[in-house]
Chain A
Amino acid sequence: QQQVKQSPQSLIVQKGGISIINCAYENTAFDYFPWYQQFPGKGPALLIAIRPDVSEKKEGRFTISFNKSAKQFSLHIMDSQPGDSATYFCAASLSGSARQLTFGSGTQLTVLP
Chain B
Amino acid sequence: GAVVSQHPSRVICKSGTSVKIECRSLDFQATTMFWYRQFPKQSLMLMATSNEGSKATYEQGVEKDKFLINHASLTLSTLTVTSAHPEDSSFYICSARDFERGGDTQYFGPGTRLTVL
Inter-chain contact B111/A43, CB cutoff 8 Å: yes
Q: How many residues of A contact B (CB 8 A)?
A: 22
A101 at the interface (CB under 8 A from B): yes
Complex contacts, A103 vs chain B, CB 8 Å: 43-44
State in angstroms the CA–CA spacing of A103 and B110 once bound together. Answer: 18
* B interface majority secondary structure: strand
Inter-chain contact A98/B32, CB cutoff 8 Å: yes
Per-position binary interface string of chain B over residues 93-117, scored 1 when its CB falls under 8 Å from any chain A CB and 0 otherwise: 1010100000111111111010000
**Min CB gap A92→B, angstroms:** 11
**Min CB gap B24→A, angstroms:** 13
Closest to A49 in B: B105
Inter-chain contact B43/A46, CB cutoff 8 Å: no
Inter-chain contact A101/B113, CB cutoff 8 Å: no
Selected from A43, A93, A105, the residue in CB contact (under 8 A) with B104 is A93
